[in-house]
Structure 1
C-alpha cells in the first residue's frame, strides 16, 4: 500500500483532487490510500505518508516541508499547477507514483 497525503491551506481544494485521484486508483486497482488535509493539521497527524503533495499555493513552503519531514516522508513535491487547476487526478496520481520509481 502506498500512502499519499495532499495538503493545502484549508484542505478543501485538495479534497476534490483527492476524490479524483481515488477514483483513478480504484479504476486501475492500485494499492493507494489518499487523504487530504490542511497544512496546519499535518504536524499533529500520526498518519504514515510515503508521498506528500503540496497544493501549488504552498509551493513557497516546499523547502521547509522537506527539511521538517526529511526523516518521516521520503517523497515531497508540489502538484503541477495546471493539473491542480484542471483537477486532473489521474495525472497527479501518475506523477506521484512516478516519484517512487
Structure 2
C-alpha cells in the first residue's frame, strides 16, 4: 500500500483535499493511505511516506522537509489544483511522482 502525506501550515485546509483524494483513490481502486499534517510534524509522520506533497503556502519549506525525510520525494502541490480542491488531479500528480 502506498502512503501519501500532505503537509501544510496547520493541516486544516489540506484535510479537505485529503478527503477528495481518498474518494478519487477509491473510484480508481488505488490502494493507498492519504493523510495531512502540519509541517512541524513532518519528521514524525512523513519519513515512511512514498511521496510528500506540500500545500502551496509552505512550498518554501521543501528543502527543509527533504532533509528531515531523506530519500522521499517532496513536491509542492500545483496552486490551481489546490485552489480547486481537485482531489483526482492531486492524486494523479502523486501517483506520477511515486511511479504508481
Does TM-score exceed 0.5, indicating one fold?
yes
Q: What CA distance in whole angstroms lies between the structure 2 residues aligned with 1:62 and 1:47?
A: 14
Deviations 1:60-101, CA, capped at 9 Å, x for gaps: 111111122114xx2110000110000001000000100122
Q: Distance in 2 between matches of 1:47 and 1:19?
A: 22
Alignment of 1:62-77 (within 5 A): 62-71=62-71, 74-77=72-75
Matches within 5 A, 1:1-101: 1-45=1-45, 48-71=48-71, 74-101=72-99
- Provide structure 1 residue ranges, at least 5 long, that are not aligned to the other structure: none
Q: How far did 1:39 drift? A: 1.1
How many residue pairs get aligned? The number is 99
Runs of at least 5 residues in structure 2 that lack an aligned partner in the other structure: none
Name the TM-score, length of structure 1 as normaliser. Answer: 0.90
Distance of 1:5 and 1:46 partners within structure 2: 6
TM-score by length of 2: 0.91
> Which runs of 4 or more aligned residues in structure 1 lie more than 3 Å from their structure 2 counterparts after TM superposition?
none
CA RMSD across the alignment: 1.5
Measure the CA separation in 2 of the matches of 1:96 and 1:32. 11
